[in-house]
Amino acid sequence: MRPLQRKGPRGSPRIAIAIGLYALILATPARCASPARLGRSVVKIYVTLQRENYATPWRANRPTKGTGSGFILRGKRILTNAHIVSDKRFLEVQKNNDAKRYVARVEFVGHDCDLAILRVDDPAFFKGTAPLRFARSIPQLNDEVTVLGYPMGGNRMSLTKGVVSRVDYSRYSHSGLDEHLVLQVDAAINPGNSGGPVTFRGRVVGLAFQGIQWADNIGYAIPLPVIRRFLDDVADGEYHGYPELGVAHFASRNPALRSSLGLSDAMTGAVVYRIDPFGSAAGLLKPGDVLMGIDGHTIANDGTIAVDGTRAIYAELLERKQWGDAVEIDVWRERASQTIRVPLRNPPDPFLYRNLYDQRARYVMIGGLVFSPLSRPYMNTLSRSRSDANTRQLRYLSEYAKVDGPYQTRDEFVVLIRRLPHPVNSYATGFENAVLSDVNGVHIRKLEDVRNALLDATNGYYVFRFLGMDEELVLDKDIVDVSQTELLRRYSIATPSYFGEER
């Protein structure tokens, strides 16, 4: 019995994990509208993957294997979860009742929505398959849905049934950060089910993707609107992801607040509290603005709008937008209303700490000191209860860098993640997990700056200063220079740095 190849990040704020290991295994025969027909297009995915090691970024982790599910769409594509194929090294797919496995490749992957599209180049693979078709809309509560896939407990395709118990917003544990619509069903969804279709009356309404540890009969599926948005996004040959508005708001319920803003009783809206400097609204909206409407929908005092017969946070409208679209926001500002068009084209945000996949960890090693940018996977390698001031500062920066301002002087936080003991750095203790401020008087905005700052030693010394620390770290340039090769050999480091693709 083999569990799915991955679980969600340990200790993530929400308890949702990708298909928890702990749900019961259902082994009932199918009783569904033509399961045989559906089954022809539900495939099993075999993956060999290799995670990055953010604590020792010059090393590769041991490859592991796993399986998941996927299903065939029109255009000879296979839709599955991003978390099944992330960090993949080798990928194969297999149809039900077919002995042969076919090599597959990832065409598109959306880590923020946990979806991926695979291609199989061998046309023989698609022989006898029929693409699954999407329903027109998402099912209602209590509608009976069917989950197909290849979960633990056997090798052949499995089918489970349940009802839609809830349609809600929830965090997608694959990225650890993004929240989108989810379909909660009480059908058994187990490790290996991930990527398999959830169908209603023979049409796809969702894609099974995560469960909750220690909970019974709760399985989550990515619902149709999120899938459709993903497919639309990649239609131009590139996945752009969800645009971010970058607005934190609070309810305009307080009478004193309302009167200070000049809001009459009839006017409704939510008050902008903070603008994310990397969001699309930066420079267009500002704290104190009242968001009264978005694309023609009236925003209530609690920030919700009426959409599809239910109330949802106004940001749900952005769920349907593509990067490059725009929203029209009706704003009450300085006791006058105006409509502000916000193009949704936010820049990449280096201070948004998502889980990272399909990229190598960047680092530089000098004199046995290994520097790497602050990242969520690196934070995950540190125990949450570590008591040293440097680690607490990293936690703070990962949460407040954009709110309190430390981001302004940096493109990323460069962290001394490890000291590889060597006579050259014997006394350089107590600096681990500190954030580099400058080297030889050169301010460090990003990892590459370390390389440049080392070109100019200070009177024959390399002098490192760290954010919020009084003590300097001083290395002798000549000793560092002659030790570098020896350090690489001693700690089996193939290359002293990896800066990624030049930015």
Name the site residues for another protein (rule: CB under 8 A): 248, 250-257, 259-260, 271-274, 287-288, 384-387, 389-390, 392-393, 395-396, 399-400, 403-404, 406, 426-428, 459, 461, 463, 467-472, 474-476, 479
Q: Is 388 a catalytic site residue?
A: no
Single out the residue of 446, 455, 499 nearest to residue 477, CA to CA.
455
Give residue for tokens 């752009």: 240
Give the count of alpha carbons within 13 A of 206, CB side only: 29
Nearer to another protein, 63 or 468 (CB): 468
Q: How far is the CB of 434 from another protein (least distance, A)?
A: 9
CA separation for the pair 11, 290 (Å, rounded): 36
Nearer to another protein, 308 or 456 (CB): 456
With beta carbons less than 8 A apart as the criterion, state whether 488 and 363 touch: no
> Can you say whether the dihedral through the CA atoms of 403, 405, 406, 410 is positive or negative?
positive
Nearer to another protein, 32 or 424 (CB): 424
Q: How far is the CB of 326 from another protein (least distance, A)?
A: 25
Catalytic residue among 87, 114, 276, 330: 114
**How many CB atoms lie under 10 A from the CB of residue 328?**
12
Give residue for tokens 């619902």: 223
Query: What Å distances lie between residue 116 and 54, 85, 183, 307, CA to CA?
Result: 24, 8, 18, 28
With beta carbons less than 8 A apart as the criterion, state whether 125 and 214 touch: no
CA separation for the pair 206, 198 (Å, rounded): 5
Catalytic residue among 158, 173, 194, 497: 194
Nearer to another protein, 154 or 423 (CB): 423
Q: Is 404 a catalytic site residue?
A: no
CA separation for the pair 322, 232 (Å, rounded): 8
Single out the residue of 139, 159, 156 nearest to residue 148, CA to CA.
159
Nearer to another protein, 214 or 427 (CB): 427
CA separation for the pair 239, 242 (Å, rounded): 9
With beta carbons less than 8 A apart as the criterion, state whether 151 and 1 touch: no
Catalytic residue among 41, 69, 83, 86: 83
CA separation for the pair 30, 160 (Å, rounded): 7
Residue ranges of alpha helices (H) inside 234-278 are: 255-261
Q: How far is the CB of 353 from another protein (least distance, A)?
A: 13
Question: At 427, is the secondary structure helix, strand, or coil?
Answer: coil
CA separation for the pair 45, 406 (Å, rounded): 44
Q: How far is the CB of 463 from another protein (least distance, A)?
A: 7
Nearer to another protein, 47 or 315 (CB): 315
With beta carbons less than 8 A apart as the criterion, state whether 66 and 49 touch: yes
CA separation for the pair 426, 414 (Å, rounded): 22
Q: Is 69 a catalytic site residue?
A: no
Alpha carbon distance, N-terminus to C-terminus of the chain: 44
Nearer to another protein, 142 or 459 (CB): 459
Nearer to another protein, 172 or 431 (CB): 431
Question: At 481, is the secondary structure helix, strand, or coil?
Answer: helix
Q: How far is the CB of 287 from another protein (least distance, A)?
A: 4
Single out the residue of 104, 96, 136 nearest to residue 120, CA to CA.
104
Q: How far is the CB of 254 from another protein (least distance, A)?
A: 4
Task: Report the chain's C-alpha Rg in angstroms.
Answer: 26
Nearer to another protein, 210 or 393 (CB): 393
Q: Which residues pair with 496 in a beta bridge?
A: none
Q: Which residues are catalytic?
A: 83, 114, 194
